[in-house]
Amino acid sequence: MRRKIVAGNWKMNKTFQEAEDLLAELADSLKEEQEYQDVEVIVCPPYLYVEMAHDLSSDEEDETQVYYSVGVQDVSEHDKGAYTGEVSAAMLSSMDVEYCIVGHSERRKYFGETDAQVARKVEQLLQNEITPIVCCGEQAEEREAGKQFEVIGRQLEDGLFGLKPLDFSRLIIAYEPVWAIGTGKTATPEQAQEIHAWIRNLIQEKYGKEIARVIPILYGGSCNAKTAKDLFAQPDIDGGLIGGASLNAEDFVAIINSFEK
């Protein structure tokens, strides 16, 4: 059995007060739910809220009762120094951040993030014991041209396949077709499964059967309370990386509870 994971990517949303309200509501709902217990829930708010998110992530009296883990949305490729505005993996680790999204299509598109940078960021994170959640996915035109496998293959090859097997086995991969992100156009379960199985097969060719078997591959792109169930029922889909629907506690909890029982 592979791990089941639901991660919320808040992107650049929520003021401090809104963030606190949402996390308190999320913690409250998860406290009530028994069903989610075997699902790893991760919340990736903006950096500024990491400490607050961490404070609200577990029971005040019993800190072993953790409702969700805290992640972030990006990290510097450098380890420290004169890089104004950047946040290093060591800093994240010192704030108990456990996960970090890397190579999101919005970072690739608006900030020019390359596969070589993805590789360096992943390396920084692994050195600091933070689990990278690495995104890949094709754009609409690339899918129309039948190039989705080529594009994703290159992203994985250039961004990740330089890793040694033990390091690679610590990753979480997220398939996020760019045409599905924030558009309300969720990939069909069949479309997503086809890519997930293909990615797993590529990992198997590179790193062998055992690593391919255990690596979690999440789906992201307009995944919501309605679409999550059929997506998560696919054999190679191990959960979701959720944008818009993670900004509402009720919707996010419904997604967390969408795995087959």
Residues that bind ligand 13P (CB under 6 A): 9, 104, 176, 181-182, 220-223, 241-245
Tokens 């679409």 correspond to 227
Long-range pairs, 224-228, Cβ under 8 A, ≥24: 224/186, 224/251, 224/255, 225/251, 225/254, 225/255, 225/258, 227/186, 228/254, 228/255, 228/258
Burial class (CB in 10 A: 0-12, 13-18, 19+), 47: middle
Smallest separation (angstroms) from ligand 13P to the CB of 221: 5
CA 248 to CA 256: how far, in whole Å?
12
CA 161 to CA 164: how far, in whole Å?
8
Smallest separation (angstroms) from ligand 13P to the CB of 46: 14
Cβ closest to ligand 13P, residue 103 vs residue 236: 103
* DSSP alpha helix (H) spans, the chain: 16-32, 50-55, 89-94, 105-111, 115-127, 140-144, 148-160, 165-168, 189-207, 209-214, 228-232, 249-256
Give the residue at shortest CB distance from ligand 13P.
243
Cβ closest to ligand 13P, residue 134 vs residue 160: 134
Cβ closest to ligand 13P, residue 27 vs residue 231: 231
Which of 13, 126, 30 has the alpha carbon at shortest distance from 77?
126
Smallest separation (angstroms) from ligand 13P to the CB of 60: 30
Smallest separation (angstroms) from ligand 13P to the CB of 26: 16
Catalytic residue among 40, 54, 77, 104: 104
86 belongs to the catalytic site: no
Cβ closest to ligand 13P, residue 162 vs residue 182: 182
Cβ closest to ligand 13P, residue 42 vs residue 212: 42
| Residue 199 contacts residue 217 (beta carbons within 8 Å) | yes
Smallest separation (angstroms) from ligand 13P to the CB of 99: 12
250 belongs to the catalytic site: no
Catalytic residues: 104, 176
